[in-house]
Amino acid sequence: MKKLILVLSFSLILASCASMNDSLTPSLEVSNDPFDSTITLSQKPVSSSGISEDWHTLGFSWNESTPDIIYLTVGTQGIDNVSGVQFMVDEKLVKSADTASVNTKYGGFSTRRFYIPVDDFKLIANAKLIKMKVMHIDSYTVSSFGEDAGMTRTINSKFKPFIRELNKHKKS
């Protein structure tokens, strides 16, 4: 009985931490572009790493004026040039994301924008295990997320609301 109570308590603590973590991180924003009034969906970057992995962030956005593209904002800790990103989705390599920004943006962490087709993004969003390879000038770092990645990652909870809004606004 004590073991059951301990397991239930631990599960409750993990669920509470995940809920609190989700409530303390930026959520999906739906807005109209001030220039042409097109709809924009935007998820600011949040952690996509586990405790023992290299620290990465991932954010994504979609604009009605480019309906077949998802823009990704990929970040890494410290000041480091982000030169590329690749995704291994359920043990299958997805085509590398194309570069959308000329340079890495430096600060407390370094970010760069990329873009991928909506269908590739949906594969990532619905996968059980995703490994994200962030490439630098002469090295790379790896993080993982998805329901099979072990502990809940902040990024996991951000995909469903984004996909739901995307499906609502994207014209076939």
Higher-confidence position of 25 and 65: 65
pLDDT digits 0-9 by tens, 74-133:
999 888 999 999 999 999 999 889 999 999 999 888 999 999 999 999 999 999 999 999
CATH T-level assignment (fold) for domain 27-169 = Immunoglobulin-like (2.60.40)
* Domain ranges (residues) in the chain: 27-169
Burial (CB count within 10 angstroms: exposed 0-12, middle 13-18, buried 19+), residue 170 = middle
Cα atoms in the 13 Å half-sphere on the side-chain side of 115: 13
Q: What is the pTM of this model?
A: 0.82
Contact 145, 97 (CB under 8 A): no
What is the amino acid identity at position 74? V
**% of residues, the chain, pLDDT over 90:** 64
pLDDT at position 147: 84
CA 126 from centroid of its chain's CA atoms? 12
Checking if the pLDDT of 36 tops 80, the result is yes
pLDDT at position 2: 53
pLDDT digits 0-9 by tens, 50-88:
878 888 999 999 999 999 999 999 999 888 999 999 999
Distance CA 139, CA 132 (A): 14
pLDDT bracket for residue 143 (50, 70, 90): very high
In degrees, rounded to 5, the angle at the alpha carbon of residue 75 between the alpha carbons of residues 140 and 55 is 65
